[in-house]
Amino acid sequence: MKKILIANRGEIVSRIVRTARKMHLRTVAVYSDADKDSLFVRQADEAYRIGPAPSSQSYLNVERILEVIDRSKVDAVHPGYGFLSENAEFCKALEERGIVFIGPAREAIESMGDKIHSKRVAMQAGVPTIPGYDGIIASADHAVTVARDVGYPVMVKASAGGGGKGMRIAANDEEVREAWETCSNEGRSYFNDERVFIEKFIENPRHIEIQILGDKQGHVLWLNERECSIQRRNQKVIEEAPSPFVDPSLRRAMGEQAVRLAQAVGYYSAGTVEFVVGADKSFYFLEMNSRLQVEHAVTEMVTGLDLVEQMIRVAAGEPLPFTQKDVRLKGWALECRVYAENPYRNFMPSTGRLMYYRPPQESSKIRVDSGVFEGGEVSRYYDPMIAKLVTWDHNRESAIAQMENVLDEFAIRGPDHNIDLLNTIIRHPRFLAGDFTTSFIQEIFPDGFMGAAPTEEGTRAFAVAAAIILLVESALYRQIPDLQDLVVTVENEELQLTVERKEGCDLVSFGLEDPVLVTHNFRAGGKLASFVIHNQTCTFRISRLAEGHLLSRGGRTVTAIARTPRHHAFARHMLRKKAPDTSRMIVSPMPGAVLKVLVGVGQTVNAGQTVCVLEAMKMENAIRCEHDGKRVKSVLVQVGDTVEADAVLIEFE
């Protein structure tokens, strides 16, 4: 094997290229029109266009990818994750051409890639499964009948779904109807498979998965577990290995069940068996991903294995060079998925150009898997993940502390992102205690994410940073006194402080309090700076506003404005710009494509009623009315339109 094609996009291509180079293999990338300038295209040795931006016309277009395979004369194909990674027909087409598929046998893909069939296989193998209906749901009415028999709440799933796509929880007949249609659409759009089934939704579970690795000689090993319970909309947000919930006995039991299932389908390569685990440590088979998964990085960090390398060697026919007793669990790893979305607006997807992109510096304890670069575009056509940020240390507490630091150091400008959410979660007492389930985010933020709760100490740190930023930038243009009184407004709170400038440091005091020694590395115009305040390092992400700065740290983003007392007095007389009145309209919360328009002119709609459906990043998003008794004056969009964020969709009388 000398040359491999990577039939995917984004950070996984960059990840595979890195391992391939280590193994002295050449790489070939494929790309859509939306990805022509992407990082992974630059990194591969060769790259070929395969079609327009929609994945159905590019990354899911088997014929176009096969044309590139023939043209580039590759020996093997790595499918990455998603798209064709669990497509048996694609695997068959490669077999017919004598091309090695870097993944499991086609028969294993057929057994495990179909969630309906995989559940039946698990039952036959003696692996406990979730109660439900494992037949195909033919219609919305059929879905309601099945859901009533299973008992609410239920989970509606696309048979070929994954990565949070094609999955919805439903608690009543109306929600089941909507979920059936949405899951069918997402399954068709992202996986070319619209089949849907229904399971009982296990309330307050933990989502724990076992990484397995097998070779063609029949050896299958389990490589410990990953905790994947921090989710939103069934999409994993934070993963860690090992799990703070799993003890050695449960670990072994789950590992052995995972191996039993893998052996039942003749599995080889690197895959994952996922389980739902109850508070009493009972566990049920959820699904098997026969492919590599996004969160494989945390397993690599705690085992020291390169799973991509092992996949390539297994595909080449090599036996595993170690046994189960050689598998070690060293330290603790944590992964945060940095998404292009706005957690302050119910996780709405965000797109656009990365005007500024500075991930943390990688080291033996810090890993950044990313497929983007400064100046690149985050497209509405694909998954919203910008990067995976992984930290490792000797124990969980230290790995979390590492993550706190690097999240503060991760600077992004352009699309919205979820770093504040990630920062808030990993600092939450329940997360620190390992006390969480898959409903953690809903429980902690029942009214939506509003940022980390303000504290007096945190507000003062923001005020100190804003004051020093003002003085450093002012010093470029004029002389400023060594002793300066300032008023800093942090959101709606005013703090009066005094800064005494010294050689190499500053002394900051609030009123009559003793001054605090502050050192920093801020330079005028900088977008990231660390301040040591009273022996505590505080790293801030900085964005300049028309007046003042937007400062982010520790899950909290604030507007901070520092002024002299005189300027502050003048500012009190400034007129405030009123927010536009949007009570008589519905605006798009995101860029996307209009899939459905569900209201017409003259119709009266009520709070919670869906007026249209937008598709963004392969997810369907229902746009709902917020007020009762609104009569539609005009509908400004139609099916097929592409809209930008804040575009007016519906006007009311």
Share of the chain above pLDDT 70, in %: 99
Asked if 534 and 400 sit in the same domain, the reply is no
Structural contact between residues 382 and 615, judged by C-beta atoms closer than 8 angstroms: no
φ/ψ (deg, to 5) at 140: -65, -40
pLDDT of residue 579: 78
With tokens 């990313």, the residue in question is: 370
Q: Is residue 578 part of a domain?
A: no
How many whole angstroms from its chain centre is CA 150?
Answer: 31
Stretch among 269-278, 341-350, 541-550 having the lowest mean pLDDT: 341-350
By the 10 Å C-beta count (0-12 exposed, 13-18 middle, 19+ buried), 638 is classed as exposed
pLDDT above 80: residue 161: no
* 77 beta partners: 5, 101
The sign of the dihedral angle between the CA atoms of 48, 189, 388, 307 is negative
Q: What is the CATH number of the domain that holds 91?
A: 3.40.50.20
Stretch among 343-347, 359-363, 577-581 having the lowest mean pLDDT: 577-581
In 415-548, beta strands by DSSP E: 483-490, 493-502, 505-509, 516-520, 528-533, 536-544
- Rounded to an integer, the average pLDDT of 30-38 is 96
Asked if 487 and 610 sit in the same domain, the reply is no
Q: Is residue 194 part of a domain?
A: yes
Report the C-alpha gap between 408 and 450 in whole angstroms: 18
3-class DSSP state for residue 373?
coil
Active site residues: 287
The sign of the dihedral angle between the CA atoms of 293, 295, 300, 306 is positive
How many whole angstroms from its chain centre is CA 199?
Answer: 25
Q: Which residues contact 174 (CB under 8 A, 6 or more apart)?
A: none
Locate 116 and state its tokens: 């309906």
First to last CA, the chain: 67
pLDDT of residue 646: 87
Last residue of a domain, one of 571, 596, 627: 571
Report the C-alpha gap between 57 and 76 in whole angstroms: 22
Q: What is the CATH number of the domain that holds 146?
A: 3.30.1490.20
Q: Is residue 114 part of a domain?
A: no
With tokens 């890639």, the residue in question is: 113
Asked if 431 and 410 sit in the same domain, the reply is yes
Q: Give 176 or 188, the one with higher predicted confidence.
A: 176
Report the C-alpha gap between 421 and 441 in whole angstroms: 10
Report the C-alpha gap between 580 and 319 in whole angstroms: 66
Q: How confident is the model at residue 619 (pLDDT cuts 50, 70, 90)?
A: confident
Q: How confident is the model at residue 623 (pLDDT cuts 50, 70, 90)?
A: very high
Report the C-alpha gap between 192 and 606 in whole angstroms: 35
Q: How many CA atoms, within 13 angstroms, populate the side-chain half-sphere of residue 482? A: 5
**Closest residue by Cα to residue 569 from 500, 494, 501, 513:** 494
Asked if 261 and 373 sit in the same domain, the reply is no
Report the C-alpha gap between 499 and 518 in whole angstroms: 10
pLDDT of residue 260: 96
pLDDT of residue 116: 78
pLDDT of residue 519: 96
Q: Give 619 or 289, the one with higher predicted confidence.
A: 289
Asked if 350 and 421 sit in the same domain, the reply is yes
The neighbour count for residue 600, using CB atoms within 10 Å, is 8
Report the C-alpha gap between 30 and 80 in whole angstroms: 12
pLDDT above 90: residue 649: yes
Asked if 487 and 556 sit in the same domain, the reply is yes
Q: What angle do CA 37, 39, 42 make, to 5 degrees?
A: 80
Last residue of a domain, one of 571, 601, 625: 571
Q: Is residue 580 part of a domain?
A: no
pLDDT above 90: residue 478: no
Q: Is residue 254 part of a domain?
A: yes
Q: What angle do CA 165, 33, 372 make, to 5 degrees?
A: 65
Report the C-alpha gap between 388 and 208 in whole angstroms: 19
Q: Which residues contact 326 (CB under 8 A, 6 or more apart)?
A: none
Q: How confident is the model at residue 185 (pLDDT cuts 50, 70, 90)?
A: confident
Structural contact between residues 393 and 406, judged by C-beta atoms closer than 8 angstroms: no
Asked if 374 and 316 sit in the same domain, the reply is no
How many whole angstroms from its chain centre is CA 540?
Answer: 22
With tokens 């249609």, the residue in question is: 181
Report the C-alpha gap between 154 and 13 in whole angstroms: 36
Q: What is the CATH number of the domain that holds 593?
A: 2.40.50.100
Q: Is residue 576 part of a domain?
A: no
Report the 3 state secondary structure along 427-462.
Answer: HCHHHHCCCCCCCHHHHHCCCCCCCCCCCHHHHHHH
pLDDT of residue 114: 76
Report the C-alpha gap between 543 and 413 in whole angstroms: 8
Asked if 314 and 353 sit in the same domain, the reply is no
pLDDT of residue 547: 92
Q: How confident is the model at residue 162 (pLDDT cuts 50, 70, 90)?
A: low
φ/ψ (deg, to 5) at 250: -65, -40
**Closest residue by Cα to residue 374 from 268, 527, 505, 154:** 527
φ/ψ (deg, to 5) at 273: -110, 120
pLDDT of residue 167: 85
List, for residues 69-116, the tens digit of each pLDDT value.
999 999 999 999 989 999 999 999 999 999 999 999 999 999 887 777
pLDDT of residue 69: 97
Asked if 358 and 314 sit in the same domain, the reply is no
Asked if 125 and 254 sit in the same domain, the reply is yes
pLDDT of residue 14: 96
pTM of the model: 0.87
List, for residues 350-389, the tens digit of each pLDDT value.
888 999 999 999 999 999 999 999 999 998 888 889 999 9
Q: What is the CATH number of the domain that holds 446?
A: 3.30.470.20
Measured over all CA atoms, what is the biggest interatomic distance in the chain, rounded to whole angstroms?
Answer: 81
pLDDT of residue 431: 98
- Rounded to an integer, the average pLDDT of 209-221 is 98
Domain that holds residue 379: 338-452
Report the C-alpha gap between 183 and 629 in whole angstroms: 30
List, for residues 607-617, the tens digit of each pLDDT value.
989 999 998 87
Whole-angstrom CA distances from 637 to 186, 227, 644 are 22, 43, 12
The neighbour count for residue 434, using CB atoms within 10 Å, is 13
pLDDT of residue 80: 96
Mean pLDDT, the chain, rounded, equals 93
Q: What angle do CA 612, 56, 186 make, to 5 degrees?
A: 40
Q: Is residue 639 part of a domain?
A: yes
Asked if 155 and 217 sit in the same domain, the reply is no
List, for residues 415-466, the tens digit of each pLDDT value.
999 999 999 999 999 999 999 999 999 999 999 999 999 999 999 999 999 9
3-class DSSP state for residue 234?
coil
List, for residues 534-552, the tens digit of each pLDDT value.
889 999 999 999 999 999 9
- Rounded to an integer, the average pLDDT of 169-191 is 89
- Rounded to an integer, the average pLDDT of 503-530 is 93
Asked if 442 and 475 sit in the same domain, the reply is no
pLDDT of residue 163: 61
Report the C-alpha gap between 189 and 166 in whole angstroms: 10
Locate 224 and state its tokens: 């410990």
List, for residues 84-93, the tens digit of each pLDDT value.
999 999 999 9
Q: How confident is the model at residue 164 (pLDDT cuts 50, 70, 90)?
A: low
Structural contact between residues 539 and 419, judged by C-beta atoms closer than 8 angstroms: no
Locate 159 and state its tokens: 């048979």
Structural contact between residues 557 and 454, judged by C-beta atoms closer than 8 angstroms: no
Q: Could you give the number of structural domains in the chain? A: 6
Q: How confident is the model at residue 480 (pLDDT cuts 50, 70, 90)?
A: confident
Whole-angstrom CA distances from 290 to 188, 301, 619 are 20, 21, 23
